[in-house]
Amino acid sequence: MNCATIDATETASRWGRQLTRNISSLKDQQFDVLIVGGGSFGACAAWEAVLRGYSVALIEANDFGSGTSANSFKFLHGGIRYLQHLDLRRLWSSCKERSAMLRIAPHLVKPLQIAMPTYGHGLRGKEFLGAGFLAYDLLTVGKNRGIYASRKRIPPAQFMGRNEVLDRFGFVNPTQLTGAAVFSDAQMYHPPRLVFSFVQSAISKGACVHNYVQAKSFIRKSNRIMGVLAQDRLTGESFEIRSKIVLNAGGPWSERLFRDSEGRDIPDAGVYSRDTCFVIDAATDEQYAVALQGSSIDTGAVIDRGARHLFVVPWRGKRLIGVWHILYDKSPDDIQVSEDELCRFLDEINGVMRGEKIERDQIRMVNAGLVPFGASDDTGQELDFGKKSHLVDSARVHGLEGLITLIGVRHTMARGDSVKAMKIVDKKLRRSGSTPDSSKLLLLGGDVDDFRALKNRIPSTLEGQGSVDLRSELVALYGSGVDKFLKDLELRDLLRRVESADITEAQIKLAVRDEQAVTLGDVVFRRTPLAAAGNPGEPVLSSCARIMSDLLGWTQLRAEKEVQSVIARFPTAAHSGRVSEPEIESLVDA
Ligand SMILES: Cc1cc2nc3c(=O)[nH]c(=O)nc-3n(C[C@H](O)[C@H](O)[C@H](O)COP(=O)(O)OP(=O)(O)OC[C@H]3O[C@@H](n4cnc5c(N)ncnc54)[C@H](O)[C@@H]3O)c2cc1C
């Protein structure tokens, strides 16, 4: 099974299609498929749809990947935990998706080993966990098929001795510790960039994609959805987008769009968990994440009952800790993590760490988002309650043709669930012929033969000065797209660090010129991870805003507002910070 290779000419022409804003392209035609929402699910769906030869539009109300997808814990799960439930179907589908991402986006996804400390000889002992991990390895023997770079292959389960565990992770409880069983999952380098690479790949094959365009309501004629009434949030202009099929992939906002427009509900989709994790300033072993057995908190509100695992994960030289699940009935626009909750989460993690206490002021970033806690079958016909994405064909459920809803439950499943959604589209549009297998097709940027050689082509002047190895970061974020920085004269001249920052001027220029970045947040949270693990400092943000001002003609007031809106995202001594940036309208008027 070979990943489809892309020849150099094709790659160049695909990169040539830039993400420039041309709203009239949305108005001028009837699309086969219009996707509402540019999170992980919408982006994957756009890629699936163009691969089938459909004319495709995607609109995103904010920035690509700025919703739940930007707030994730960054794992692409291989499904090992489903072994516990003996749910082999989910185990295999999760594993298949993890392998697909390692294959098609090898620059943005890498394996990460997870050490699970073992105690005694019972259910938490090496023998029991080892047998489980071995069973997982046997059940997933084909998981590395088509993944050629050795560093991108999922290694088999291993064991670690007690002393090594204590040396590597000083915070693990030593009482009755026997060592650790080690399994692997995959970690996304930067989830919004992975979302964006699906968007870019879709554009490279002709999709018409715009951020800051919001679907306000569906256009219905009799019992058929014909498109949406949309609004360009940068200008306020309203217009119609016509399409044979609308795929509502608005994440936790999907239901509200349907309800507001149609006055009806999507059955059983309405229970959400607010998942939360946070980044703390503290070095950790870069090679391993650690799973610690938490204790039950929020009695009655915590979905995963009993002592569930909390994970301490290395990310950008810091530690990412989570995930907490709490049933949440407020709007996705109103997601907050209260100070009380944050302190309880801290108490819980501190309660299971030994010899180390995480202080509140070590928290650099809080991520939270709504994830559905419900399920449907694969055809969208029968809904039941579980932990799968909601795929709803409104023709079957509401007697309304032309509308499909896909509310994703795990970033991991975005590609696979999009394939399922497209199967429904194929039937409706009576498509025949072969379908490219996107689990084997490299995304734009993914065609890297030799990561080290690619890194060595980047000027060594980018080394040092900052906390991140910028040459490795460029390779991880852009993959073969690094060529663009080296060959495009405008960008090559700007391939230098913004003073004391882990970003180059060339990245800012590229984001604004070719990647539809409109705000400072678009650049520092999503096109690059400069601020994704916490505040890089006001001087750095101001320098980036100055560069964007030169490119976009911002006033001084706008630049200041942009910096403040980014800063509002970070925790203060008394507040966990905003989960997203302020509405775009409050910035564009400045
Ligand atoms: C704390 C946390 C940790 C997590 N960890 C993991 C993990 O480790 N691994 C994993 O696989 N999953 C994880 N998840 C789940 C994962 O993040 C989500 O399942 C996934 O991101 C959902 O993607 P989505 O595209 O459905 O939704 P979103 O990312 O929310 O995208 C929906 C998009 O639609 C847009 N939109 C909404 N309404 C409209 C409209 N009317 N017009 C136009 N656009 C609209 C929104 O702006 C948004 O960008 C985690 C989630 C959280 C919150």
Note the pLDDT tens digit of each residue in 450-464. Answer: 999 999 999 988 876
Q: Does residue 193 have its Cβ closer than 6 Å to ligand 1?
A: no
- How far is the C-alpha of 254 from the C-alpha of 371, rounded, in Å? 12
Q: Beta strand pairing status for 309-315 and 288-293?
A: antiparallel
Supply the pLDDT for residue 63.
Answer: 98
Task: Point out the ligand 1 atom lying closest to the alpha carbon of residue 69.
Answer: 21
- How far is the C-alpha of 426 from the C-alpha of 418, rounded, in Å? 12
Q: Single out the residue of 24, 30, 62 nearest to residue 402, CA to CA.
A: 30
Work out the mean pLDDT of the chain and round it to a whole number: 90
Supply the pLDDT for residue 11.
Answer: 54
The pLDDT of residue 500 is above 70: yes
Expressed in angstroms and rounded, the spacing between residue 19 Cα and the centre of ligand 1 is 22
User: b vs e for 356-375, b when ≥16 Cβ sit within 10 Å of the residue's Cβ?
Assistant: eebeeebbbbbbbbbbbbbb
Least confident of 38-47, 377-386, 527-536, 545-554: 377-386
Pocket test for ligand 1, best of 34, 64, 68 (most atoms within 8 A of CB): 68
Expressed in angstroms and rounded, the spacing between residue 369 Cα and the centre of ligand 1 is 7
**pLDDT tens digits, 198-242:** 999 999 999 999 999 999 999 999 999 999 999 999 999 999 999
Q: Does residue 294 have its Cβ closer than 6 Å to ligand 1?
A: no
Q: Does residue 419 have its Cβ closer than 6 Å to ligand 1?
A: no
Task: Give burial (CB, 10 Å; 0-12/13-18/19+) of 526.
Answer: buried
Q: Does residue 211 have its Cβ closer than 6 Å to ligand 1?
A: no
Share of residues in the chain with pLDDT > 70 (%): 91
Expressed in angstroms and rounded, the spacing between residue 200 Cα and the centre of ligand 1 is 18
Closest C-alpha residue for ligand 1 atom 35: 37
Q: What is the mean pLDDT of residues 509-537?
A: 97
**Global confidence as pTM:** 0.94
The pLDDT of residue 471 is above 70: yes
Q: Does residue 506 have its Cβ closer than 6 Å to ligand 1?
A: no
Q: Single out the residue of 1, 2, 19, 3 nearest to residue 481, CA to CA.
A: 19
- How far is the C-alpha of 257 from the C-alpha of 567, rounded, in Å? 30
Q: Does residue 439 have its Cβ closer than 6 Å to ligand 1?
A: no
Supply the pLDDT for residue 54.
Answer: 98
Structure tokens at 441: 């097709």
Expressed in angstroms and rounded, the spacing between residue 287 Cα and the centre of ligand 1 is 27
**pLDDT tens digits, 143-159:** 999 998 888 999 999 99
Supply the pLDDT for residue 293.
Answer: 86
- How far is the C-alpha of 150 from the C-alpha of 540, rounded, in Å? 36
Q: Is 175 helix (H, G, I), strand (E, B) or coil?
A: coil
Pocket test for ligand 1, best of 23, 26, 34, 73 (most atoms within 8 A of CB): 73
Q: Does residue 59 have its Cβ closer than 6 Å to ligand 1?
A: yes
Task: Point out the ligand 1 atom lying closest to the alpha carbon of residue 75.
Answer: 8
Expressed in angstroms and rounded, the spacing between residue 586 Cα and the centre of ligand 1 is 23
The pLDDT of residue 306 is above 80: no
Q: Does residue 214 have its Cβ closer than 6 Å to ligand 1?
A: yes
Task: Give burial (CB, 10 Å; 0-12/13-18/19+) of 149.
Answer: middle
Task: Point out the ligand 1 atom lying closest to the alpha carbon of residue 369.
Answer: 53
**pLDDT tens digits, 160-181:** 999 999 999 999 999 999 999 9
Expressed in angstroms and rounded, the spacing between residue 409 Cα and the centre of ligand 1 is 8
Expressed in angstroms and rounded, the spacing between residue 516 Cα and the centre of ligand 1 is 20
Expressed in angstroms and rounded, the spacing between residue 171 Cα and the centre of ligand 1 is 32
Supply the pLDDT for residue 163.
Answer: 97
Tokens 């090559």 found at = 492
Q: Does residue 275 have its Cβ closer than 6 Å to ligand 1?
A: yes
Q: Does residue 97 have its Cβ closer than 6 Å to ligand 1?
A: no
Closest C-alpha residue for ligand 1 atom 38: 250
H or E segment and range at residue 404: strand 403-407
The pLDDT of residue 392 is above 50: yes
Q: Does residue 274 have its Cβ closer than 6 Å to ligand 1?
A: no
The pLDDT of residue 396 is above 60: yes
Pocket test for ligand 1, best of 410, 420, 519 (most atoms within 8 A of CB): 410
Q: Is 308 helix (H, G, I), strand (E, B) or coil?
A: coil
Share of residues in the chain with pLDDT > 90 (%): 77
Q: Does residue 39 have its Cβ closer than 6 Å to ligand 1?
A: yes
Residue 590: pLDDT band by 50, 70, 90 thresholds?
low
Expressed in angstroms and rounded, the spacing between residue 174 Cα and the centre of ligand 1 is 38
Expressed in angstroms and rounded, the spacing between residue 49 Cα and the centre of ligand 1 is 19
Supply the pLDDT for residue 284.
Answer: 81
**pLDDT tens digits, 400-445:** 999 999 999 899 999 999 999 999 999 999 999 899 999 999 999 9
- How far is the C-alpha of 26 from the C-alpha of 239, rounded, in Å? 9
Expressed in angstroms and rounded, the spacing between residue 67 Cα and the centre of ligand 1 is 5
Task: Point out the ligand 1 atom lying closest to the alpha carbon of residue 389.
Answer: 19
Q: Does residue 69 have its Cβ closer than 6 Å to ligand 1?
A: yes
Q: Does residue 369 have its Cβ closer than 6 Å to ligand 1?
A: yes
Task: Point out the ligand 1 atom lying closest to the alpha carbon of residue 230.
Answer: 42
Expressed in angstroms and rounded, the spacing between residue 68 Cα and the centre of ligand 1 is 3
CB 251 within 8 Å of CB 39: yes
Supply the pLDDT for residue 271.
Answer: 81
Residue 13: pLDDT band by 50, 70, 90 thresholds?
low
Expressed in angstroms and rounded, the spacing between residue 117 Cα and the centre of ligand 1 is 31
Residue 146 gets the label, from left (phi > 0), alpha (psi -120 to 50) or beta, of: left
